[in-house]
Structure 1
Amino acid sequence: MIPFNKPYLTGKEIVYIEDAVKKGKISGNGYYTQRCHDFFEKKYGFNKCLLTTSCTDALEMAAILINIKEGDEVIMPSFTFVSTANAFVLRGAKIVFADSRSDHPGMDEEKLEALITAKTKAIVPVHYAGVACDMDKIMSLAHQYNLFVIEDAAQAIDSFYTGKDGIRKPLGSIGHLAAFSFHETKNIISGEGGMLVINDKSFAQRAEIIWEKGTNRSAFFRGEVDKYSWVDIGSSFLPSEIVAAFLWAQLENIEDIQKVRISHWEKYYNELQDWALKNEITLPVVPSYATNNGHMFYLVCKSIEQRQAIIDKLKSKDILAVFHYISLHSSVFNKTNNIIPELNQSDKYSDCLLRLPFFYELNIREIIEAL
């Protein structure tokens, strides 16, 4: 049986977890948490990083930081995971769904301005499959209309965007805030786990307080205050040192992991060209301003029936291929609470996008021959 995903272990995870336990502090924000924070801040130039128990938590922290309240509107793609929307709905926001691009499941940047109203507070671009949205266009709109930009970079670790200025920027470093995931299906994993990136320095101090249950506990342990107390709203967003130790083992090997995953992606892409053309199937598109980080490999079938036929064919050979999101605008929750917009491209990806097995130890040849 070839699964859709298989978590990759570097061999050091248990070693570092044991070390974390021996250090005598496993509740969080200790040695391994700081190593992970330092890694991301130095390697990618992020202003400040805070590990979280999930990408969902990072998004919820972002919603608190930008003071989302009842009646605010937040623009995001419909073709995304529910956490992208839930984080803002929980604070009272109305979600305004954007359609996907015709050539890529990411949000159609050309249609965003028409969705902006006097109530719009933020835009949440989702870098689907680790491929960048056109951040120049999004940041320009944000500046023009005084909006916040929160990058949902759950799938976008070690992926980049090159703007009109020619500067290559890591995804997650461009918006005011960004959220990453280390779920077991991602490139770099810790089982569950995530991270909030704070690029706008004005959010840094409050982010740490929200992260520490609404207290200034971190400042107290640094000796900046003589006692800590409840100073803001917050929650238990930080993960344990056990999670951070697992993550550190992965980060030590990020170059190797990325090299292998990108090689898998390129092999799929190169060897499926003729098959895809023959069957009227579209392979992934990576715009010229974006990079491919080897997060997933997907096909866009010509119909839902064709997709199901491919799923069934692979299943008969003990290979698990899966579709992805049911667009949020067509969800039961949204139908109950809002008017349903017409988002044809998003519907197309819901019906026709198919993800092939993708993980470090995968033998791509078996999948290609099965197709």
Structure 2
Amino acid sequence: MLRVMALSLVRDRGALVLSFLLPPAIFVIFAAIFSATANDELPLKVALGKGNNVEAWDRFEEVLRAEPSLRIVGATALDPKDVSRQVEQGTVDAGLFIRGETGGDKVPPLLVLTEPGKPLAGGILSGKIRSLITAEMPDMALSTTVLAIEPLIGGLTPAQTERLETATAALATGDRNLDEAQDLVETAFVGPQKRHNAAVTYCAGAVAILFLLFSSMQSAAVLIDERNSGILDRIAVVPRGPEIVVHGKFLFLVAQGVIQASLIFATAAGFYGVDVIGNLGLWLLVTLAASMAAAGLALAAAATCTTKQQAQAVTTFIVLVCSAVGGSMVPRFMMPLWLQDLGRFTPNAWAIEAYQGTLWRGEALTEMLPELGGLLGLAALSTMYAVSVSKRRLRV
């Protein structure tokens, strides 16, 4: 039995390669994700803004742009509303607006803007800013702290002012160290402040597309058994037989996916207050697009594979890699930047962003066209590919 199973695996080259390629591939993805979080190098995409007459903070902007763990997206904005808009739209993980010198009004000179669905991103950015100021600009931290406490102590004497200037100059040249930069950063949430948690909406979308892919792949694999048993040969003799087979299974998989997603979001609405009913039209459109993409991709994989064992390895590989890179297992902002860029081309990322835009951000249809276009385009191309391959495989 050992020899028979070994020969069966060796002769099926596709299953052989994927059976031993999938484990290290998944390991590389998760190792890249968790190594970034373990060594305090979690990358963030940041929108940067700076008010007028804050030349004293120009050096800090250079420090931010040189920091490898931060990707400053676009040019420096002049209005905090522009930074806030980018955070709300989800194009960046967090935003930073440099107010500059604020005198003694107790308003921190740095404002971190984050979305309620990504509170961790705002906390990470705030910590990174404090660390950079302490390490690279201790003189700025000291000057800002003195401006805040000077009104409380009735001003500084000339001697104290001289000693302060000397200490600030020493900090600027690196001759002295400042232990901590406090009261320099304020964090504020932007976007909708709804009753339910944004993380629940994210989780619902991530789980929905994950199970849509898994169930579609499993159901579509029946196509291989039907082809090998000769059942499809009888259907193929009728006009447009291969198209009937593929399109019929496509419709079933789409209907199955819509029901599955409906159950997931009904649970989210009932237990966590996610407003599905208030956005029913757009939610249904996103669900149909996600189900169609999962169905098309599953049929393309089933049409390509020749054995059930090969199909199991291929479909598992596709689902796990797309889910890991696309954000169904770990939020994409916690991944290295190269993985974030790669994840943008997965159906998981498109579906999650579309659900977030519909149920959390309240976006209009036109704002979700890129994600919906990606899902529908994948569905169309995959289904056409499955029909083409089926025509060649079926003996007509």
TM-score category, normalised to shorter length: under 0.3
Q: TM-score, normalised by structure 1?
A: 0.22
Larger Rg: 2
Greater share of strand: 1
Greater share of helix: 2
